[in-house]
Amino acid sequence: MLNRSTSLISLATIDPDIERYRDDRDDDAQPLAIDAVRNQAEAELSLCARCQNFDVQSFARSANRRKGYLLKHIEAAANQSCQFCALLLDAVKDVEKPEYFYVNAIQGRTTLNPDLYVHMTISESYKDEALATTSPGLQANRFLIELGDRFSGMRNQSKHEICIAADPGSPAALSGDVLGRYIGCDPSSASHYETARSWLQACASHSKCNETVSGSVHIDPYNSPLPTRVIEIARENDRQRLYLRHTDGHHGAYITLTHRWNEFTGRCITTTSNYEGRLLGEDFGELPQLFRDAFIIAEKLGIKFIWIDSICIIQQGDDLADWRCEAPKMAQYYQFSVFTLAGTAEDMSGGLLRSYTKDSVPWSLKLVRLPYRDKTNTIAGHFYSYRRRVPLVDEYMDQVRSSILFRRGWILQEWLLSKRLLWYTPDGLFFECQQELPRSYDQSQLTFTRAGSELQAHLQLKALFHFSNTDILGFWYRALEVYSGQHLTKPDLDRILAVAGLAKEVGPTLANPKRLSSLDNEVQHEVYVAGLWLRDIHHGLLWEEHHTAPPCTSKVFVTPSWSWASLLTLVRWPSRSKATKAAFMVTGICFHERDKHDIPDHLVFDGYKLRPFNPIVMTEQLSPFDPTNMFSCLHIRGTLHTVHVRGYLETEENLKTAALSTTYSPIPKSCNWRAICSAFRPEIIAGWGSLERLQPHPIACADIGIAVYTLHVSTRYLRHGLWIKTSVPVLDVLFLEEVEAGSNSFRRLGVGRIADGALIAELEDAKERDIKLV
């Protein structure tokens, strides 16, 4: 993404009045040899005379904070062992050389060969100079490297990152000129803990990091309500000792640990048999290195409480009462903690404080030491320059977002809810907070524009989880799309539970988008049903198995068939249409699973509010908000009609036609769509259906089709015409089957769209009926 293709430019674009370099005009000079004066330091012996005179202040004297060296001089100096020139040459070795030419009517095209320069632009994490703060010094941690001529502005970027760093306490660091730091390869070193403290201190002034997602509560992470139980880290006789504490509503500072469960962490669970002993500081058994390191890190950072789910939640066999009670509270636990601690290595048996390998950290590539000159042009020590082995955005993607930890189902809400996260990766520390882009151990920060589309979507997701986002439902569906592809050890129990914390914050955000003073009452109007929101049920029901997902064979039977949570597969939601109209009405809801649902638990009014189904009770009572709700039966009044499902739309042309005719985007190149036809006109393809639950019929074939019910969910419109616009209706539908003949209860088979006018007319002529969707 950073490389730009070779481009052709005209000399007419070259501005002869452009500001010239002020102190780096070496185009008339001869290549400078290595100075071999005996008394010079070893670092200076490895630099050419030009680099020995390197002046970082010269960047400030340039209007664009840029300077350049002639490529041919760099090549010559690198051949004579100048380490900095070799570093620059290595950074541009794969960069395409721009082509320069001019054209006139007589001679035609004439190609030019101007001298090429290696341009260095000094910056902080590639931030635009216009966005620079008023802080003292250059505030720099890297050079943007480009290859091009001197004046035209046509330059091709290097994909390599040249970083600069200074020792803590050095003049280069104290002046604010060099922000990058070298903290070494030992994560248990004092420099690592000092780096973590500086991140936490800087985050203290971030508004988004010190309020709940819904904006309803201000957070003081050092004086927050403690979780129901925490582990206290005490020091007795100069030895660390652990106690399980029941907090009884007390306040304090604590951290949370996110981790993957395995056989080692599974042995650490708190049960009714060891609970009393742990209260007394005993019976913790042999803790895994991951947990022991977490206790060390907390203690080093001055925090004496830590919450670890496997220790702080009581479990006893199949009795999950405490787990179900505590899971919804995670919305509070992760948001109110000082930070969440996470290790991303695939093998965590070595814990969090294992030293980095020399082959992983950027500094294993040789550090080049450059002289540091202050604003008086006096040499005041030195600073370092090095090339990152992997660009920062790629390192974060590989070490954090693509790590095995992020494939764990519970991590999504823990990442989204945590205001601050401290990632211990095999290559170094990363810090992430709600308000800013992630930072790395060398004090550099991710740059959104340099990230790939997948990483950009990942970063945007966390930024959108805030009450200022006017499309919080759009966030909800995007989060579920990510979550649906992650792994759960116990999906039958946790498919809904693992996003309960998110739902607990989305609920009040939906009910109070402008932070109404009546928050506590209004939030009760939000009805959460098996992973969807009643107010948006017409869109929520339209989830589809993702086109890239393999055929789904695993189901979660405790959840209703119409919920995305009922299938263990990657799902997606369609894009919204502004003119979409709802086509059915939810009249009632049952929250409890039973044999028959003839009478709903609650009646629905105003589209998304509930009252108990009890004619004797005249006062309006509302259902409590329950983010752990897994089962719901929807009582619906709508239009049912029979259609036929035929063979698969196998060719790209058929898929393209089906997508365009039903306003579906993006157009799939391959998927499991099947042709939908009217029972009266089987030769006409009326639409498409994605039927993930449809079982093979013993006697039906693709020519005849399988008869299924279709429920009209909503109507969107396809606009036609260049001069005169016309709107053609397209129906969003669910495909259903009756659970038992005559039961009037239906389960979902799939989703689709219908665009054929004749079949649409058949649905419009059908009478409304009351059904139950289970």
What phi and psi values does residue 523 have, to the nearest 5 degrees?
Answer: -60, -25
* Range in 352-356, 451-455, 511-515, 570-574 with the lowest mean pLDDT: 511-515
Q: What is the pLDDT of residue 722?
A: 66
Q: Identify the CA nearest to 707 among candidates 718, 719, 694.
A: 694
- Higher-confidence residue of 534 and 620: namely 534
Counting residues of the chain whose pLDDT is more than 70, the rounded percentage is 87
Distances (CA, A) of 751 to 158, 209, 385, 682: 47, 40, 56, 19
Checking if the pLDDT of 716 tops 80, the result is yes
What phi and psi values does residue 643 have, to the nearest 5 degrees?
Answer: -130, 170
Rounded Cα distance between 255 and 631, Å, is 33
Detail the DSSP E strand segments found in 288-397: 305-307, 340-343, 368-373, 379-387
Checking if the pLDDT of 476 tops 80, the result is yes
For range 151-168, the mean pLDDT: 90
Residue 426, Ramachandran bin (φ over 0: left; ψ between -120 and 50: alpha; else beta): alpha
pLDDT, tens digit (0-9, with 9 covering 90-100), for 643-654 = 999 999 989 999
Cβ neighbours of 25 (radius 10 Å): 13
For range 358-381, the mean pLDDT: 84
Based on the number of CB atoms within 10 Å of its own CB, is 696 exposed (0-12), middle (13-18) or buried (19 or more)?
Answer: exposed
Q: What is the pLDDT of residue 493?
A: 85
- Higher-confidence residue of 44 and 395: namely 395
Distances (CA, A) of 338 to 434, 465, 501: 13, 19, 18
DSSP string covering 637-676: EEEEEEEEEEEE--SHHHHHHHHHHTT-SSPPSS--EEEE
Q: What is the pLDDT of residue 377?
A: 92
Checking if the pLDDT of 424 tops 90, the result is yes
Residue 96 CA to chain centroid, in angstroms? 33
Most confidently predicted of 9-13, 312-316, 730-734: 730-734
Q: Residue with structure tokens 């003949």?
A: 741
Q: What is the pLDDT of residue 11?
A: 32
DSSP string covering 585-621: EEEEEE-S--S--SS-SEEEETTTEEEES-TT--S--
Mean pLDDT for the chain overall: 86
Q: Are 381 and 320 in contact (CB under 8 A)?
A: no
Distances (CA, A) of 109 to 101, 103, 148, 392: 7, 4, 20, 41
Q: What is the pLDDT of residue 360?
A: 67
Q: What is the pLDDT of residue 702?
A: 54
- Higher-confidence residue of 18 and 538: namely 538
The SS3 assignment for 487 reads strand
Q: What is the pLDDT of residue 704?
A: 65
Q: At 521, is the pLDDT very low, low, confident or very high (cuts 50, 70, 90)?
A: very low
DSSP H/E element including 494: helix 491-494
Q: What is the pLDDT of residue 471?
A: 92
Checking if the pLDDT of 39 tops 70, the result is no
Q: Residue with structure tokens 């955005």?
A: 393
Alpha helix positions (H), 175-306:
190-203, 263-266, 275-279, 289-300
According to DSSP, residue 400 is labeled I
**Rg, the chain, Cα only:** 32
Q: What is the pLDDT of residue 519?
A: 46
Distances (CA, A) of 116 to 16, 98, 532, 750: 17, 9, 59, 60
Q: Which residues pair with 104 in a beta bridge?
A: 108
Q: At 708, is the pLDDT very low, low, confident or very high (cuts 50, 70, 90)?
A: very high
Q: At 365, is the pLDDT very low, low, confident or very high (cuts 50, 70, 90)?
A: low
Checking if the pLDDT of 371 tops 60, the result is yes
Q: What is the pTM for the complete model shown?
A: 0.87
What phi and psi values does residue 30 have, to the nearest 5 degrees?
Answer: -85, 155
Rounded Cα distance between 529 and 633, Å, is 9
Q: What is the pLDDT of residue 446?
A: 94
According to DSSP, residue 203 is labeled H
Rounded Cα distance between 87 and 54, Å, is 14
Q: What is the pLDDT of residue 123?
A: 93
Q: At 111, is the pLDDT very low, low, confident or very high (cuts 50, 70, 90)?
A: confident
Q: Residue with structure tokens 């769209």?
A: 753
Rounded Cα distance between 566 and 532, Å, is 12
Rounded Cα distance between 222 and 444, Å, is 27
pLDDT, tens digit (0-9, with 9 covering 90-100), for 545-565 = 999 888 777 888 889 999 999
Residue 144 CA to chain centroid, in angstroms? 26
For range 24-52, the mean pLDDT: 52
* Range in 419-423, 459-463, 492-496 with the lowest mean pLDDT: 492-496
Q: What is the pLDDT of residue 120?
A: 96
DSSP H/E element including 67: strand 66-70
Q: What is the pLDDT of residue 307?
A: 97
Cβ neighbours of 159 (radius 10 Å): 14
pLDDT, tens digit (0-9, with 9 covering 90-100), for 578-597 = 889 999 999 999 988 888 88
The SS3 assignment for 383 reads strand
Strand order in the sheet with 254-258: 239-246, 229-236, 305-307, 254-258, 340-343, 420-425, 428-433, 439-440
Q: Are 556 and 493 in contact (CB under 8 A)?
A: no
Residue 65 CA to chain centroid, in angstroms? 33
For range 696-724, the mean pLDDT: 79
Q: At 342, is the pLDDT very low, low, confident or very high (cuts 50, 70, 90)?
A: very high
* Range in 153-157, 336-340, 373-377 with the lowest mean pLDDT: 153-157
Q: What is the pLDDT of residue 27?
A: 41
Q: Which residues of 657-683 are buried (b: 16+ CB within 10 A; e: fewer)?
A: ebbebbbbeeebeebbbbbbbbeeeee
Q: At 698, is the pLDDT very low, low, confident or very high (cuts 50, 70, 90)?
A: low
Q: Residue with structure tokens 């403290």?
A: 197
Amino acid at 238: D
Q: What is the pLDDT of residue 363?
A: 62
Give the Cα-Cα-Cα angle 620, 513, 626 (nearest 5 degrees). 50
For range 130-142, the mean pLDDT: 76
Q: What is the pLDDT of residue 726?
A: 79
Alpha helix positions (H), 267-320:
275-279, 289-300, 309-312
For range 684-698, the mean pLDDT: 87
Counting residues of the chain whose pLDDT is more than 90, the rounded percentage is 63
Rounded Cα distance between 121 and 385, Å, is 14
Q: At 750, is the pLDDT very low, low, confident or very high (cuts 50, 70, 90)?
A: very high
Residue 142: both structure tokens together: 């890297």
Q: What is the pLDDT of residue 152?
A: 83
Q: At 18, is the pLDDT very low, low, confident or very high (cuts 50, 70, 90)?
A: very low
Checking if the pLDDT of 277 tops 70, the result is yes
Rounded Cα distance between 560 and 557, Å, is 7
Query: Contacts for 548-554 with beta carbons within 8 Å, 24 or more apart?
Result: 549/485, 551/672, 551/692, 552/692, 554/491
DSSP string covering 121-182: EEESTT--GGG--S-SS--B-EEEEEEE-SSS--EEE-SS-EEEEB-TTSHHHHTTSB--B-
For range 96-125, the mean pLDDT: 84
Distances (CA, A) of 462 to 209, 364, 455, 602: 12, 33, 11, 35
Cβ neighbours of 17 (radius 10 Å): 6
Q: Are 360 and 347 in contact (CB under 8 A)?
A: no
Q: At 626, is the pLDDT very low, low, confident or very high (cuts 50, 70, 90)?
A: confident
Checking if the pLDDT of 523 tops 80, the result is no
Q: Number of C-alpha atoms within 13 angstroms, CB side, residue 540?
A: 20
Q: Identify the CA nearest to 601 among candidates 631, 561, 577, 638.
A: 631
